[in-house]
Amino acid sequence: MSMRSKKVLILNADYRAFSVCSVYKAFLLVYLEKAEVVKKAENGVLRTVNRVYDMPSIIKLNQYVNIPYKGVIMTRQNIFKRDGNQCVYCSSKDSLTLDHVLPRSRGGGSNWTNLVTACKTCNSKKGDFLPEEIGMILPYKPFKPSFIMFLRDFSGLGDDSWMPYLQVSR
């Protein structure tokens, strides 16, 4: 993984997961003393002309930031991530689209619990039917992931050192 794609977990002052940012932004927060390094990245350093710094993997903000609600925005890309970037019906990774499990023509809405990732072939085959009406199997009931679940299971950005901070029970 290149340093440009490497991400850092940001914890709020109470050690709860807050966000994810680039290594550069995390370093700047630490350098400006707005955050402190909780965990260093293994095998990673940042170099300047005359200094070497440890690359952060997890940082903690020094002041608590109150966020009333932290949810996952429903976007095409986030639904693809939730579904593993593959068709839920045939597991193809090609020509992905969104499918309404309960078709819009039958009153189905565009929401987390009614949208799934489908390839164009399966989406065309399903058409205005329910999956079970034409023998297609939906492997799980679509759901809205929590912010922590999304970071932990679907973002693909972190490393194992993040896991203690991404437990749902926190």
The CATH number of residue 151's host domain is 1.10.30
Return the percentage of the chain with pLDDT > 90, whole number. Answer: 64
Residues 83, 24 within the same domain: no
Residues 144, 113 within the same domain: yes
Give 117's pLDDT tier (boundaries 50, 70, 90): very high
Residue 35 sits in which domain range?
A: 7-69
User: Which are the contacts of 64, defined by CB distance < 8 A and separation ≥ 6?
Assistant: 12, 13, 14
Q: State the Cα–Cα distance between residues 66 and 61, nearest whole angstrom.
A: 12
The predicted structure's pLDDT at residue 78: 92
| Residue 167: inside a domain | no
Of 46-50, 87-91, 123-127, 145-149, the poorest mean pLDDT is in 145-149
Give 161's pLDDT tier (boundaries 50, 70, 90): confident
Residues 53, 14 within the same domain: yes
Residues 55, 103 within the same domain: no
Give 1's pLDDT tier (boundaries 50, 70, 90): very low
Question: Per residue in 51-99, pLDDT tens?
Answer: 999 899 999 999 999 877 778 889 999 999 999 999 999 999 999 999 9
- pTM passes above 0.85: no
Residues 77, 139 within the same domain: yes
pLDDT mean across residues, the chain:
89
What's the first-to-final CA gap in the chain, in angstroms? 29
Higher pLDDT, 4 or 16: 16
Residues 78, 45 within the same domain: no
Do 79 and 62 contact (CB within 8 A), yes or no? no
